[in-house]
C-alpha cells in the first residue's frame, strides 16, 4: 500500500489546517497512523491520492447509504445547481423533504431544517427548555450529540478517542445543567429525576448508540424512559442523526415502537450534503420562531442543493426491500466475522440493526460506556491496520459504528471476509 502522496498532503495540510484535518477523528490518531487523503469515490469504493482502492464502510460517517456518486442523487443535485445555489428564501424542496420525513417517522408532526446534526441537537434542547420552562437536561455517558457545549460531556467517539471526555473551552457553568446517566440503566435516570424534581426539561439519547461503538438498548429500556418522562413532564428526545433512515426508513423509533417527543436528524437526510433537522410534537415545535419565542435560525438552512440531495436519497430508500437487503448484507458480514473470530479463539461482540453494525473486542457483552472503555483497543488498532492494508476502510476508532450501503456487492462482502481472515492471522501471530 503506497502512502507517499497522502503523507505529503498531510504535511502540507498541517501548515494551514489545525492538525491537518477539519474534524478530529479524521486524523487517524487513535489508530496511530496518518490519514489517507481521498481522491474520489464510486459506489462502495473510495480511492486515495496514491491510487489505493478501498471498500468503504464509513460512508462519510453515515450519510452515504446509497454509496458514492449515486446517479439519482447526482442528477438531482445537478438539476438543483442549475437553478441557483442558495436564496435565503423558502423553496418547495424544503416542504417536500419535511413531508417525506413526516411520512417516514411516526412522531414527527413538524420539522425545522438546519445544516448539521450538531445544530439539530442544539435546536432540540433549546426547544425543550423553552417549552418546559426548565433548564436541566439528562444525557447518557458515551452518547454523542455533536460538538455543542451543553452536550460535550462524556461524549463518546471523537472525544473518547482523544482521551478527552470533556473539552477545554467549555465552561463548567455550561455543563452544570447537564446531568449524566448510564445507558441501559433506568435506575440511574430515575435517581437523577428524583434528585432534581421539576427541573429537568429533557432526556436526550441515541436510542441505539453508535458513537461509543454500537450498543443495543436492552428490552424495556426505551419504553421505561418513555414512562419516566411522561410521569414527570419531561420531554424525550431521540437523537437519530445516525440511526434515522439508517437502521430502517423510520429510524429506531419505528422499528422498536417507542415515540419520542422530539427527534433530531442529520447524515442520511442530507444525502452527503450538510443537512440536519429537528422535529416532533406540533405543540412543542410551534414554540420556535417565527411562530413562538424560541429563537433559532440559519442563513443556509434548507439549502436547495442540499435538500435536493436529501429528497433524492430518501426517494431511493423508500423503494421496497432496500432495508431488507441492507440488513441481510450487514447481517451476513457480521455473522462471517463472528465465526472467523470464534475459530481463531478471539473474543468478539457484534451488534447490527439494518444498515448499521459494530463490533468490540471483548469477552462480555457491551451494555454501556464503561463496558466499551474496557474493550481491547490495542487489538482494534492492529485489526484496523490489517484491514486497511487489505483494502478495507473501517472507521479509524474502536468507538465507532460501521455502515453498509446499497452499493456494496456480494463480491465486496466476500472480499471483506477474506481480508478479515488474513488480518486475523496477524492478530494471532
Ligand atoms: C454525527 C452525529 C451528530 C452530529 O452531527 P454533525 O452533522 O456531525 O454535526 C449528532 N448526533 C449523533 C447521534 C451523531 O451520530
Name the β-bridge partners of 139. Answer: 180
Contact between 120 and 266 (Cβ < 8 Å):
yes
What's the pLDDT band for 163 if we cut at 50, 70, 90?
A: very low
Q: Which CATH architecture has domain 71-320?
A: 3-Layer(aba) Sandwich (3.40)
Contact between 393 and 55 (Cβ < 8 Å):
yes
- Is pLDDT at 162 greater than 50 in this prediction? no
Q: If you measure from the C-alpha of residue 30 to the centroid of ligand 1, how many angstroms do you get, rounded to a whole number?
A: 19
* The one catalytic residue among 45, 136, 139, 267: 267
The DSSP H or E segment spanning 120 is helix 117-132
- pLDDT averaged over the chain? 95
- Is pLDDT at 385 greater than 60 in this prediction? yes
The CA dihedral of 267, 268, 270, 272, to the nearest 10 degrees, is 80
Number of residues that this document lists for the chain: 429
Does the predicted TM-score (pTM) go above 0.95? yes
What's the pLDDT band for 150 if we cut at 50, 70, 90?
A: confident
Q: If you measure from the C-alpha of residue 145 to the centroid of ligand 1, how many angstroms do you get, rounded to a whole number?
A: 5
What is residue 156's predicted lDDT score, i.e. its pLDDT? 65
Q: 140 in helix, strand or coil?
A: strand
116 lines ligand 1 (CB under 6 A): yes
* The one catalytic residue among 131, 144, 278, 323: 144
56 lines ligand 1 (CB under 6 A): no
241 lines ligand 1 (CB under 6 A): yes
Q: How far is CA 320 from CA 61, 180, 248, 249, 419, in A?
A: 24, 40, 12, 10, 31
What is residue 166's predicted lDDT score, i.e. its pLDDT? 64
What is residue 165's predicted lDDT score, i.e. its pLDDT? 46
What's the pLDDT band for 149 if we cut at 50, 70, 90?
A: confident
**Annotation marks residue 283 as catalytic:** no
Contact between 113 and 301 (Cβ < 8 Å):
yes
pLDDT in tens, 74-103: 999 999 999 999 999 999 999 999 999 999
Domain ranges of the chain: 4-65+322-428, 71-320
Q: Is there a cis peptide before residue 290, judged by omega within 30 degrees of 0?
A: yes
Name the β-bridge partners of 203. Answer: 138, 236
**Annotation marks residue 267 as catalytic:** yes
What's the pLDDT band for 331 if we cut at 50, 70, 90?
A: very high
pLDDT in tens, 278-325: 999 999 999 999 999 999 999 999 999 999 999 999 999 999 899 999
Pick the CATH number of 4-65+322-428 from 1.10.3720.10, 3.40.640.10, 3.90.1170.50, 3.90.1150.10: 3.90.1150.10
DSSP 366-419: --SHHHHHTS-HHHHHHHHHHHHHTTEE--SSTT--EE--TT--HHHHHHHHHH
211 lines ligand 1 (CB under 6 A): yes
What's the pLDDT band for 153 if we cut at 50, 70, 90?
A: confident
Contact between 364 and 371 (Cβ < 8 Å):
yes
132 lines ligand 1 (CB under 6 A): no
What is residue 284's predicted lDDT score, i.e. its pLDDT? 98
23 alpha-carbon distance from chain centroid: 14
What's the pLDDT band for 176 if we cut at 50, 70, 90?
A: confident
Pocket test of ligand 1: the residue of 211, 217, 264, 275 to mutate, having most ligand atoms within 8 Å of its CB, is 211
Q: How far is CA 9 from CA 6, 17, 50, 145, 385, in A?
A: 5, 11, 11, 30, 20
Closest CA to 260 of 291, 302, 228, 216: 228
117 lines ligand 1 (CB under 6 A): yes
The lowest-confidence range among 170-174, 305-309, 374-378 is 170-174
**Annotation marks residue 239 as catalytic:** yes
144 lines ligand 1 (CB under 6 A): yes
How far is the C-alpha of 169 from the C-alpha of 366, rounded, in Å?
Answer: 31
Residues whose CB falls within 8 Å of the CB of residue 320, separated by 6 or more in sequence, listed in order: none
What is residue 364's predicted lDDT score, i.e. its pLDDT? 97
What's the pLDDT band for 161 if we cut at 50, 70, 90?
A: very low
- Is pLDDT at 361 greater than 50 in this prediction? yes
Residue with cell 474520489: 40
The DSSP H or E segment spanning 316 is helix 304-318
What's the pLDDT band for 132 if we cut at 50, 70, 90?
A: very high
Amino acid at each position: 500500500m503506497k502512502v507517499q502522496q497522502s503523507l505529503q498532503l498531510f504535511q502540507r495540510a498541517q501548515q494551514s489546517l489545525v492538525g491537518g484535518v477539519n474534524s478530529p477523528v479524521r486524523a487517524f490518531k487513535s489508530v496511530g497512523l496518518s490519514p489517507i487523503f481521498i481522491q474520489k469515490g464510486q459506489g462502495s469504493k473510495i480511492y486515495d491520492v496514491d491510487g489505493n482502492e478501498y471498500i468503504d464502510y464509513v460512508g462519510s460517517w453515515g450519510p452515504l447509504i446509497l454509496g458514492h456518486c449515486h446517479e439519482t442523487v447526482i442528477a438531482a443535485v445537478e438539476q438543483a445547481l442549475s437553478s441557483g445555489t442558495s436564496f435565503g428564501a423558502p423553496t418547495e424542496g424544503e416542504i417536500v423533504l419535511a413531508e417525506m420525513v413526516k411520512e417516514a417517522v411516526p412522531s414527527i408532526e413538524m420539522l425545522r431544517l438546519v445544516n448539521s446534526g450538531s445544530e439539530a441537537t442544539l435546536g432540540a434542547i433549546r426547544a425543550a427548555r423553552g417549552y418546559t420552562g426548565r433548564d436541566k437536561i439528562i444525557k447518557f455517558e458515551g452518547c454523542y450529540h455533536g460538538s455543542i457545549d451543553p452536550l460535550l460531556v462524556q461524549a463518546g467517539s471523537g472525544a473518547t478517542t482523544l482521551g478527552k471526555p470533556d473539552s477545554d473551552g467549555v465552561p463548567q457553568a455550561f455543563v452544570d445543567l447537564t446531568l449524566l446517566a448510564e445507558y441501559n440503566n433506568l435506575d440511574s435516570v430515575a435517581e437523577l429525576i428524583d434528585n432534581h424534581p421539576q427541573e429537568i426539561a429533557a432526556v436526550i439519547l441515541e436510542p441505539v448508540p453508535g458513537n461509543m461503538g454500537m450498543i443495543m438498548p436492552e428490552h424495556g429500556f426505551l419504553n421505561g424512559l418513555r414512562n419516566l418522562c411522561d410521569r414527570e413532564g419531561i420531554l424525550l428526545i431521540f437523537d437519530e442523526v445516525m440511526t434515522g433512515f439508517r437502521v430502517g426508513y423510520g429510524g429506531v423509533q419505528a422499528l422498536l415502537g417507542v415515540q419520542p417527543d422530539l427527534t433530531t436528524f442529520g447524515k442520511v437526510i442530507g444525502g452527503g450534503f450538510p443537512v440536519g433537522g429537528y422535529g416532533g410534537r406540533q405543540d412543542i415545535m410551534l414554540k420556535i420562531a417565527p411562530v413562538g419565542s424560541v429563537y433559532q435560525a440559519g442563513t443556509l438552512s434548507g439549502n436547495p442543493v442540499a435538500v435536493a440531495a436529501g429528497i433524492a436519497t430518501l426517494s431511493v430508500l423508500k423503494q421496497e426491500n432496500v432495508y431488507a437487503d441492507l440488513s441481510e448484507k450487514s447481517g451476513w458480514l457480521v455473522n462471517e466475522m463472528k465465526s472467523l473470530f470464534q475459530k481463531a479463539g478471539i473474543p468478539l461482540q457484534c451488534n447490527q440493526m439494518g444498515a448499521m453494525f459494530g463490533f468490540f473486542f471483548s469477552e462480555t457483552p457491551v451494555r454501556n460506556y464503561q463496558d466499551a472503555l474496557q474493550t481491547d483497543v490495542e487489538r482494534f488498532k492492529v485489526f484496523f491496520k490489517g484491514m486497511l492494508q487489505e483494502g478495507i476502510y473501517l472507521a479509524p476508532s474502536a468507538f465507532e459504528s460501521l455502515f453498509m450501503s446499497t452499493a456494496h456487492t456480494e463480491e465486496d462482502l466476500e472480499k471483506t471476509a477474506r481480508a478479515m481472515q488474513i488480518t486475523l492471522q496477524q492478530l494471532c501471530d
